[in-house]
Amino acid sequence: MTPKIINLPKIVDPRGNLSFFENPRQLPFEIARTYWIYDVPGGEKRGSHAFREQQEFIVALSGSFDVVLHDGETEEKFSLNRSYYGLLVPKMYWRRMENFSTNSLALIVSDKLYDAGDYIRDFEEFKNLKNVLS
């Protein structure tokens, strides 16, 4: 699987718009966990790591930020700035989140419970593992 932007339904309404995602219609996995990142001070970066097994879907519910993904060879930057689409991050992609706007809110859903052992926090280790797997 490769990273991809998934467009979400947008129910436009004069009372305020509404978007959603469901498994399996928009989201290709069942959600085991939901978390969010907020109150990020200017210039901070989050999440320089990869996951061995878990995949995630990231939505900028408010404001904007960049998700930079590295597949072991090249880096790709995804700018998220609308709440009606999100980024699917498959397992074994090094990911960094940066360039958070003031008051931005990142919603992240994962197909796995939190497991510190699923993190790869060393980039060289990540690259080596990626080479072995591919």
Single out the residue of 77, 114, 125, 133 in contact with ligand TYD (rule: CB under 6 A): 114
Phi–psi pair at 37, nearest 5 degrees: -120, 130
Catalytic residue at 70?
Answer: no
- Closer to ligand TYD by CB, 20 or 114: give it: 114
Site string for ligand TYD, 70-109 (x = CB under 6 A): ----------------------------------------
**Dihedral Cα 117, 52, 129, 123, nearest 10 deg:** -70
Exactly one of 49, 52, 91, 127 is catalytic; which is it?
49
Residue 10 contacts ligand TYD per CB under 6 A? no
- Closer to ligand TYD by CB, 27 or 97: give it: 97
CB hemisphere CA count around 45 (13 angstroms) = 9
Tell me the DSSP string of 45-87. -EEEEEESS--EEEEEEES-EEEEEE-SS-EEEEEE--TTEEE
Residue 20 contacts ligand TYD per CB under 6 A? no
Contacts of 92 (CB under 8 A, 6+ apart): 50, 51, 52, 126, 129, 130, 133
By CB under 6 A, the count of residues binding ligand TYD is: 6
Single out the residue of 10, 33, 52, 82 in contact with ligand TYD (rule: CB under 6 A): 33
User: Minimum Å distance from CB 134 to ligand TYD?
Assistant: 24
As annotated, the active-site residues are 49
